[in-house]
Structure 1
Amino acid sequence: MTDRVSVKPLWMPSRNFVEQSNLKKFQNWLFVKKGLYFKNYHDLWDWSVTDLEDFWESIWQFNDVKSHSLYFDVLIRSSKDFIGTKWFRGATINYAEHIFRHKNTSRPAIMYQSEREPLRELSWRDLEKQVGAVAAFLKQSGVGVGDRVAGVLPNGPQAVIAFLATNSLGAVWSSCSPDFGTASVLDRFQQIEPKVLFLTDGYTYNGKAYDKLPLIGDLIAQLPTLKKTVLLPFLNPQSKLSQAVMWGDVLKTPFSTLEFTPVPFEHPLWILYSSGTTGKPKAITHSVGGCLLEHLKALSLHQNVKPGDRYFWYSTTGWMMWNFSVASMLVGATLVLYEGSAAFPNLNVLWDLAEKAKINHFGGGAAYYIACMKAGINLQGYKFNQLQTIGSTGSPLPSEGFEWVYKTFKKDVWLISLSGGTDICSGFVGGCPTLPLYAGEIQCRLLGCKLEAYDEAGQPVKNELGEMVITQPMPSMPIYFWNDSQNQRYRASYFEDYPGVWRHGDWIQITEREGVVIYGRSDATLNRDGVRIGTSEIYSAVESVEDVADSLVVCLEQEGGKYFMPLFVVPAKGQKLTDDLKSKINHELRTRFSPRHVPDAIYAISEIPYTISGKKMEAPVKKILMGMNPAKVASRDTMRNPQSLDFFVKFAPEKLSV
């Protein structure tokens, strides 16, 4: 499996770069303060995953984390698995407070641009003023510690302000992007019962305006716990809504000073959502302290973000990379935001932004870089004087993508390919400023993350394809799933395959250099251009079409970073899969959810494979279509209708090309 990885490094850090890196400064600090010396990164990593208590306490101390009370223990392990593990018991902290430790008058807090607006800046003074006003409004609305506040907002400063205000009160934030359909939003927010909802009147994408006002009334009506709704007029400054308070009026709420409510380390910070492979999306709840420590570690040590740097990651408010990019403010960065399509009016729009905003750290999905590469975009004339790193995530970046970066940009730019997930709101594997970079290979396993590749017998392997697992707890692992009182969904999501070990659902290879190559998802989650989509969302829309009896969808990773998402449908009795029926299916998916939910092709099938317990067998079907031995990926003895697999075994491989 090593042919995807080059032998010669694409990038080598200079001696000066290494010496000035945050990681080297951390190692020097460990030597001076703790008497710990590590010959290289791999020795440091080994210590970080062996002596967890000392490592995470060192992250706390190195970053001078502010606690309003003393902690008694760094780590109290759960006896069965990672669920219930306690970190820094007794500590009381506030995430937003750590962001505002970096306020100053010499640089902006946030820079932002959209398809409709030029690049603008928000000062720390104005950020503090607006966060204080929104916090005062929330408090007047009855929001307190532990209450939920939700947002359906564009990727502008208002979403950041609403989050910081929520967190300053010890309340819990949750967010969807405006391109989510009403059904998707309700599937998420009905679970968490928010008290206040921030909404936009619409959004723009690819130069087209999407009016959300007609849908807002129905959304509000189905969230009975709401005390207040706030409307942000993004499309039309004159937008009004009788059930809502206007954003501008909220900003007029009087307050004296912005205060921060300290909460226990394990208190909820925000609720993110799984893709909903089975049933409704899982409401993954992260802790204030866990995310604080993880983000300080990941952004400072593994991405080398420093005070005064400008940090950008192309995202929406519905993807965990939005939360991760906001976290760059924890280490003193200016956050750069963009709202809109990365391809409108052309693929140069984000590179134009990088030049204008003097971005130091530029991030995006692997699919964006692949699109730029295929389009042969012209970046001659761009200087990129300030650009230090280019980050890639969302899906595996192929070797060709690595090589394109170094053919297109300056040779000393550092490409950081990282992979993690909503599950920890960070990365498991990513960049290292002291190691060389090889095409197709992620540089390292991140500090504090005991990641292994397991073979079919559950044994760790190297230079072989294996299941990605985590064998030691991390502070930013979920504290729980909302409304999962017995942790049944939590345990089923990660701990059913290997007792006491987190199975993540990726196929990986750990190379002889201790780098990591990711080959795609091993479970049923759909990964469409770096955005995970739940199969249950697809089924709810497709099977609502009158002429469809049943359906199954998979997403196949292909060479060169391509993806192919076929949908297999069983037409209702007496019906055929016509072009008209295909159009109805695609229309339902696009309008109820998003364009990403629309398949690349639709095929008719007589029956869908099911287990005896009634579960659709997406993962075995995906593996069969990817060429794996059918006898090894599915036990026909555990199937309700074993003959249904024959279709996929015989399915012509040439049909699965785009």
Structure 2
Amino acid sequence: MSTQNPAPLWQPTPQRAAEARITRFQAWAAEHHGAPADGGYPALHRWSVEELETFWKAVTEWFDVRFSTPYTRVLGDRSMPGATWFPGATLNYAEHALRAAAERPDEPALLHVDESQEPRPVTWAELARQVGSLAAELRALGVRPGDRISGYLPNVPQAVVALLATAAVGGVWTSCAPDFGARSVLDRFQQVEPVVLFAVDGYRYGGKEHDRRETVAELRRELPTVRAVVHIPLLGTDAPEGALEWSALTSADTAPVFEQVPFDHPLWVLYSSGTTGLPKAIVQSQGGILVEHLKQLGLHCDLGPQDRFFWYTSTGWMMWNFLVSGLLTGTTVVLYDGSPGFPDTGAQWRIAERTGATFFGTSAAYVMACRKAGVHPSRDHDLSRVGCVATTGSPLPPDGFRWLHDEVREDLWIASVSGGTDVCSCFAGAVPTLPVHIGELQAAGLGTDLQSWDPSGDPLIDEVGELVVTNPMPSMPVRFWNDPDGSRYHDSYFATYPGVWRHGDWITITSRGSVVIHGRSDSTLNRQGVRMGSADIYEAVERLPEIKESLVIGVELPDGGYWMPLFVHLAPGADLDEALVDKVRRTIREQLSPRHVPDEIIEVPGIPHTLTGKRIEVPVKRLLQGVPIEKAVNPGSLDDIGLLAFYEELARKRA
């Protein structure tokens, strides 16, 4: 990794940097809290991790967080795991999410778009009214603070109303997207024992209607703790017997009443991808999410009342929760319910245009699919309002940066961000005042002491190491559900380096403070001591037009050997002949490293993914090491379990 300073792909104009909220925050924090007035973002970041308590106190003051009872100190205990934030304080997340209703009642809080692509607004006043009505009905149903409320819902306004009403009464929200099958929903919801289930009768995706009534009936049978089911008729069907109608629960003209709960009171449960065993049920707090998301959305993403915030996501992914938190900054949130590529690959750009999105978030995979399909966003759409395109889900390859710069516009802030469900936020990514370099995330986030460590726990600069966070973040889990002694939580992040969060990604922190993500460290390719992330291989191989998608696995063998196959899913009409095999090998040898040329290149009928679209490397690795399928993978977490038969058969033959 070279440490010289290549020219950035983009940098903010002096005017844009001066107007960014983070610049104003720094000047204010310098005046009131001793933050450095000079030195720009690097100085602010250093102060934010060295003076952690002062920084988070400043965040709560800058964003006017309303504590109904005051805190005794910012950080009661800073040990990890087990940090306690703002002890003594009480507040309510939903109260902060609906603050704009008093100031701008008639402006849109939500813009809802489906595959017809006609945006439909929900005003702040209407959103607050529905939340008030539903919260009162939940209380009437006997919902008490701490009770779990579940949603089997697509990305529609009703899901936002249900989440906010749950938070308003102090309940704990949890959701799955309706493309999840019954088994994988039950693997999640059965763990947390919900008392209410919000469910749709079906959804529309890719131009087709998908009826989910049988799945909902199965969920009702298998969730004995559910006392009330609320029917949301997206396909227009009648409520099943014993279910309540959404419209009846949300029709009253009731101002919301916000339960004041302790800072660390659970807000929601998110689930890890659960590729092995049951998904981890990750509990995050009302206060922790509130302050982390205010920082992330209000400072890093530079969002405010004039913005329109669109991120392509489903309710089964943490990015949906993050998107809803856009409301905290008074931003209009764009909810798109439909296929990311319907009626054609350019669909998301069309939605950004039609909703006037100023900040558009998507997946790195979508950007690369657009590049491959020859989409021309700015030629075909008016994207003049889009100030930032952000990507996550996997590292954005250098070609993705170049394509966005060339095809959207030269003056485009490109924010590749990386974090995780585990913190429902970003460790590194968007900073509106810093330059963007190709293939790099701009910097670590404020208050996040992000480091790259070698195996003995020494920090590295300009070298690949483990992503660690050495101080607590408010949105780190307060616990896992059903983990009474905390051992599962501890083993997930703190077993490698005691007292330090190890996330499981390989990263490089450059000498200028930017960050490069190389892929998951638990599926890292380690050839003769030279480590490489799988993302680097995918980027090189999938540039070839013949390769639709690929999966590379490094398998440590019982005899001490190492087998590294590359599985390829070919584009229609392509053949894995000798010429293509040579081309793939040559590409990896020349662009990456001769050591990481695969031992075999094997054609497969498809690459298996989690339900949130991540390639599953570790379970395939386990299958290839001879672990039986029922122990290697949780079938409910995959998009197509049938694809694993191929890898299972291959393992059997090799054995």
- TM-score with structure 1 setting the length: 0.81
Whole-angstrom distance in 2 between the partners of 1:277 and 1:53 = 36
Corresponding residue for residue 59 of structure 1: 59
- Tell me by how many angstroms 1:348 deviates: 2.0
Corresponding residue for residue 348 of structure 2: 350
Whole-angstrom distance in 2 between the partners of 1:225 and 1:268 = 19
- Tell me by how many angstroms 1:456 deviates: 2.4
Corresponding residue for residue 430 of structure 1: 429
Deviations along 1:411-449, one digit per CA (max 9) or x if unpaired, are 222111110010110000011111111010100000100
Matched, 1:197 2:183: no
Letter in 2 for 1:306: G
- Tell me by how many angstroms 1:237 deviates: 1.1
Corresponding residue for residue 654 of structure 1: none
Whole-angstrom distance in 2 between the partners of 1:381 and 1:491 = 50
Conservation of the 8 A alpha-carbon contact between 1:6 and 1:438 = no
Corresponding residue for residue 646 of structure 2: none
Report the CA distance shift for 1:131/1:607 in structure 2 as closer, same or farther (over 3 A). Answer: closer
Matched, 1:503 2:492: no
Corresponding residue for residue 533 of structure 1: none
Matched, 1:276 2:289: no
Query: Which has the higher mean CA deviation after the structures are superposed, 331-340 or 39-48?
Result: 39-48
Letter in 2 for 1:192: V
Letter in 1 for 2:265: H
Report the CA distance shift for 1:329/1:597 in structure 2 as closer, same or farther (over 3 A). Answer: closer
Corresponding residue for residue 469 of structure 1: 468
2:550 aligns with one of 564, 586, 603:
564
Q: How does 1:473-552 map to 2 (within 5 A)?
A: 473-523=472-522
Conservation of the 8 A alpha-carbon contact between 1:608 and 1:616 = no
**SS of residue in 2 equivalent to 1:523:** helix
Whole-angstrom distance in 1 between the partners of 2:214 and 2:510 = 53
- Tell me by how many angstroms 1:2 deviates: 4.9
Conservation of the 8 A alpha-carbon contact between 1:348 and 1:377 = yes
Deviations along 1:301-342, one digit per CA (max 9) or x if unpaired, are 111111121000000001000000111110110000101111
**SS of residue in 2 equivalent to 1:400:** helix
Conservation of the 8 A alpha-carbon contact between 2:622 and 2:632 = no
Whole-angstrom distance in 1 between the partners of 2:220 and 2:52 = 45
Conservation of the 8 A alpha-carbon contact between 2:181 and 2:215 = no
Corresponding residue for residue 321 of structure 2: 323
Whole-angstrom distance in 2 between the partners of 1:257 and 1:173 = 21
Conservation of the 8 A alpha-carbon contact between 1:181 and 1:594 = no
- Tell me by how many angstroms 1:109 deviates: 0.7
Report the CA distance shift for 1:383/1:586 in structure 2 as closer, same or farther (over 3 A). Answer: closer
Conservation of the 8 A alpha-carbon contact between 1:200 and 1:232 = yes
Report the CA distance shift for 1:118/1:91 in structure 2 as closer, same or farther (over 3 A). Answer: same
Letter in 1 for 2:178: P
Corresponding residue for residue 307 of structure 2: 309
Letter in 1 for 2:257: E
Deviations along 1:128-169, one digit per CA (max 9) or x if unpaired, are 121112112211111111111000101010100000111110
Corresponding residue for residue 255 of structure 2: 257
Whole-angstrom distance in 1 between the partners of 2:398 and 2:431 = 18
- Tell me by how many angstroms 1:382 deviates: 2.3
Letter in 2 for 1:42: P
Whole-angstrom distance in 2 between the partners of 1:12 and 1:556 = 25
Conservation of the 8 A alpha-carbon contact between 2:316 and 2:612 = no
Whole-angstrom distance in 2 between the partners of 1:351 and 1:110 = 18
Corresponding residue for residue 115 of structure 1: 115
- TM-score with structure 2 setting the length: 0.82
Matched, 1:608 2:625: yes
Conservation of the 8 A alpha-carbon contact between 2:111 and 2:334 = yes
Deviations along 1:78-108, one digit per CA (max 9) or x if unpaired, are 5xx4122111111100001011111213520
Report the CA distance shift for 1:17/1:146 in structure 2 as closer, same or farther (over 3 A). Answer: same
Whole-angstrom distance in 2 between the partners of 1:506 and 1:603 = 18
Conservation of the 8 A alpha-carbon contact between 1:451 and 1:468 = yes
Letter in 2 for 1:434: T
Corresponding residue for residue 45 of structure 1: 45
Corresponding residue for residue 628 of structure 1: none
Letter in 2 for 1:608: Q
Conservation of the 8 A alpha-carbon contact between 2:541 and 2:550 = no
Deviations along 1:340-391, one digit per CA (max 9) or x if unpaired, are 1111101222211111111110000110111011111133142222111111
Corresponding residue for residue 640 of structure 2: none
**SS of residue in 1 equivalent to 2:519:** strand
Corresponding residue for residue 627 of structure 1: none
Report the CA distance shift for 1:598/1:492 in structure 2 as closer, same or farther (over 3 A). Answer: closer
Corresponding residue for residue 91 of structure 1: 89
Report the CA distance shift for 1:360/1:82 in structure 2 as closer, same or farther (over 3 A). Answer: same
Report the CA distance shift for 1:594/1:311 in structure 2 as closer, same or farther (over 3 A). Answer: closer
Corresponding residue for residue 621 of structure 1: none
Deviations along 1:22-70, one digit per CA (max 9) or x if unpaired, are 0100011012212432412112111111111111111111111101001
Report the CA distance shift for 1:606/1:159 in structure 2 as closer, same or farther (over 3 A). Answer: closer
Whole-angstrom distance in 2 between the partners of 1:556 and 1:442 = 15
Corresponding residue for residue 126 of structure 1: 126
Conservation of the 8 A alpha-carbon contact between 2:276 and 2:632 = no
Letter in 1 for 2:625: I
Conservation of the 8 A alpha-carbon contact between 2:133 and 2:255 = no
**SS of residue in 1 equivalent to 2:100:** coil
Corresponding residue for residue 443 of structure 2: 444
Letter in 2 for 1:272: L
Corresponding residue for residue 537 of structure 1: none
Deviations along 1:108-132, one digit per CA (max 9) or x if unpaired, are 0100111256211111121112111
- Tell me by how many angstroms 1:567 deviates: 9.8
Deviations along 1:443-483, one digit per CA (max 9) or x if unpaired, are 00001001111112221101111110111111110000011
Conservation of the 8 A alpha-carbon contact between 1:272 and 1:285 = yes
**SS of residue in 2 equivalent to 1:362:** strand
Whole-angstrom distance in 1 between the partners of 2:133 and 2:631 = 49
Whole-angstrom distance in 2 between the partners of 1:603 and 1:491 = 25
Q: How does 1:393-408 map to 2 (within 5 A)?
A: 393-408=392-407
Report the CA distance shift for 1:561/1:192 in structure 2 as closer, same or farther (over 3 A). Answer: farther
Corresponding residue for residue 635 of structure 1: none
Whole-angstrom distance in 2 between the partners of 1:105 and 1:215 = 38
**SS of residue in 2 equivalent to 1:109:** strand
Letter in 1 for 2:181: G
Letter in 2 for 1:102: A
Whole-angstrom distance in 2 between the partners of 1:605 and 1:93 = 45
Whole-angstrom distance in 1 between the partners of 2:257 and 2:127 = 14
Letter in 2 for 1:559: E
Report the CA distance shift for 1:200/1:617 in structure 2 as closer, same or farther (over 3 A). Answer: closer
Query: Which has the higher mean CA deviation after the structures are superposed, 33-42 or 18-27?
Result: 33-42
Report the CA distance shift for 1:117/1:267 in structure 2 as closer, same or farther (over 3 A). Answer: same
- Tell me by how many angstroms 1:410 deviates: 2.3
Matched, 1:208 2:225: no
Whole-angstrom distance in 1 between the partners of 2:342 and 2:329 = 31
- Tell me by how many angstroms 1:586 deviates: 8.9
Conservation of the 8 A alpha-carbon contact between 1:63 and 1:296 = yes
Deviations along 1:457-514, one digit per CA (max 9) or x if unpaired, are 2211011111101111111100000111100110010011111111100010011211
- Tell me by how many angstroms 1:238 deviates: 2.9
Deviations along 1:499-553, one digit per CA (max 9) or x if unpaired, are 111110001001121100001011259xxxxxxxxxxxxxxxxxxxxxxxxxxxx
Matched, 1:362 2:379: no
Letter in 1 for 2:41: Y
Letter in 1 for 2:366: Y
Whole-angstrom distance in 1 between the partners of 2:239 and 2:605 = 32
Conservation of the 8 A alpha-carbon contact between 1:149 and 1:195 = yes
Conservation of the 8 A alpha-carbon contact between 1:367 and 1:561 = no
Letter in 1 for 2:285: S
Report the CA distance shift for 1:57/1:604 in structure 2 as closer, same or farther (over 3 A). Answer: closer
Whole-angstrom distance in 2 between the partners of 1:449 and 1:227 = 41
Whole-angstrom distance in 1 between the partners of 2:431 and 2:615 = 37
Corresponding residue for residue 69 of structure 2: 69
Corresponding residue for residue 580 of structure 1: none
**SS of residue in 1 equivalent to 2:108:** coil
Report the CA distance shift for 1:36/1:299 in structure 2 as closer, same or farther (over 3 A). Answer: same
